[in-house]
Chains A and B, each alone.
Chain A
Amino acid sequence: MTNTPPLKTQPTVRSCPFDPPEEYRTLREQEPVAPVTFPDGAAGWLVTRYDDVRTVLSDPRFSAKRIVLRPGGGGMEDAPPPPPGLFIMMDAPEHTRFRRLLTGQFTVRRMRQLAPAVEKIVAEQLDAMAAAEGPVDLVQAFALPVPSLVICELLGVPYADREEFQRNSATIVRLHSSPEEFQQAQAALRGYIHQLVLAKREKPTDDILSELVQSGELTDEELVGVGVLLLIAGHETTANMIALSTMCLLQNPEQLAALRADPSLMDGAVEELLRYLTVVQFGVRRTALEDVELHGQQIKEGSTVVASLASGNRDTEHLADDPEALDVGRPHSAHLAFGHGIHQCLGQQLARAELKAALSALLDRFPTLRLAVPVEEVPMRDDMLVYGVHELPVTW
């Protein structure tokens, strides 16, 4: 009988709220393609170096289609088809059809044109926050409403319905939701968007969902899938980046002072915060379509590979100059916060516009902003697919 070494799981425990778990540094140095067991019991590989992350996410031998996971990997024939419209789980050319329908809505130019509307939403939320007496929870008062209002307006989703879709969206990205809770939340969100699709077919309005309905390119089921995806992606990630960035700047007073002294640093600061904080905390999963050798490791066809965006962004391969430090004056780097390859975040220019408007106005409006509780008491989102804070009590 042989002694099998204990199986490793993906590192999850952080010693600093802004740093990935420390084991990632060791893995990058000693075991860049490491065997791991995922929480669902499946065996696979964890990739932690910048170049390898980019390879896994851009090489067509790795598929975004999720397979039936089982220890040792399964065959691609077990793969269920991706749910209709959920194009983040498709490969080219299936994926291309959806991406092409949407990219025109999220260009650099379109998002710059949208900036005044975003700034107005930001100002209104800050007015309301200023009128309240501190302390307030920055997540509920500001960080969540801003991207939620913006994506609702863009997509054509009534903001008044936010309580329900925000709750369902949170259930979907929470790690410990039971399969029943997950399915219930998904069905509720799908049902909600389906009603909207039907309403917009009847009476189109000036928004992305109406345009997609009118294009006639997608079935109702596909429209629902796209709508759900954009709604969730449009607010979870940005809301957490706004709140976590604020907390991070408050804990790095010299960086905050530099940014306040020279607001022209904001574009670069947003990129650096995206890199440094990388809220997609558990990485991106792919499946090998054939046997692939990576760094001398044989990855068998059907194996799951997780590419850690957070680890890649802290790699000296990416940044020779102290990647573990937050430096708002750093030149823009080709970071992995939005992923890489054909699935790189569709809404990244929107996220940039929102982060820039939100952080600029918040710092400007509240020069004495500070945490209202000791930093150790801020509840961190270790339990969510998207990292950040559950609450951020602040005062001024």
Chain B
Amino acid sequence: MKILIDEGKCVGAGTCVLAAADVFDQRDEDGIVVLLDDDPPHALLPQVMDAAARCPALAIEVVE
């Protein structure tokens, strides 16, 4: 699985961190999404898909 994030779209809501804390974090200074792992183990797919679905700004794309 590959994850693409669009920092320009991110609004720092933090919903991705709640959904998949092993994969997503936020920059301290402006809350923008940080990708901790751009190719996480397949077992995390449901959480990553959940994070993408919850993102209010549609800033996360998952390529299986």
Contact = CB atoms under 8 A, between A and B. Distances in A.
Interface of A: 57-58, 99-100, 103-110, 332, 334, 338-342, 344-346, 348-349
19 contacts: A58-B56, A104-B28, A106-B31, A107-B26, A107-B31, A108-B14, A108-B17, A108-B18, A109-B25, A332-B19, A338-B56, A340-B56, A341-B56, A342-B56, A342-B57, A344-B13, A344-B56, A345-B13, A348-B15
Contacts of B11: 99, 103, 342, 344
Interface in B38-64: 50, 53-54, 56-58
A348 B55 CA distance: 13
Contacts of A99: 11-12
B32 A103 contact: yes
Nearest to A100: B30
Contacts of B19: 332
Contact of B13 (A57, A109, A348): A348
Given A107-B31, A108-B17, A339 B56 contact: yes
Interface centre among B14, B17, B50 (most CB of A within 10 A): B14
A109 B26 contact: yes
Interface of B: 11-15, 17-19, 25-32, 50, 53-54, 56-58
Nearest to B12: A103
A341 B11 CA distance: 9
Contacts of A105: 31
A5 B27 CA distance: 54
A318 to B, nearest CB: 11
A341 B54 CA distance: 10
Contacts of A349: 14
Contacts of A106: 12, 14, 31
A109 B12 CA distance: 12
B11 to A, nearest CB: 5
Contacts of B57: 58, 341-342, 344
**Do most interface residues of chain B lie in helix, strand or loop, or is the interface mixed?**
loop
Contacts of A334: 50, 53-54
**Do most interface residues of chain A lie in helix, strand or loop, or is the interface mixed?**
helix
A349 B15 CA distance: 9
A340 B54 CA distance: 9
A267 to B, nearest CB: 9
10 residue pairs, one from A and one from B, having the closest CB atoms: A103-B12, A103-B31, A344-B56, A108-B14, A108-B17, A107-B26, A334-B54, A104-B30, A107-B31, A104-B31
Nearest to A335: B54
A11 B36 CA distance: 45
Contact of B14 (A58, A332, A341, A348): A348
A57 B55 CA distance: 13
Interface centre among B11, B15, B17 (most CB of A within 10 A): B11
A57 B13 CA distance: 15
Interface centre among A58, A100, A339, A345 (most CB of B within 10 A): A100
Contacts of B17: 107-108
Contacts of B18: 108, 332
Contacts of B53: 334
Contacts of A332: 18-19
Contacts of A57: 56
A105 B32 CA distance: 11
A109 B36 CA distance: 15
A58 B58 CA distance: 8
Contacts of A339: 56
A99 B32 CA distance: 11
Contacts of B15: 344, 348
A108 B26 contact: yes
A136 B25 CA distance: 42
B28 A107 contact: yes
A8 to B, nearest CB: 29
Interface centre among B13, B14, B26 (most CB of A within 10 A): B13
Given A105-B31, A108-B17, A344-B57, 4 more contacts: A107-B17, A108-B18, A341-B56, A342-B57
A148 B14 CA distance: 23
A100 B11 CA distance: 7
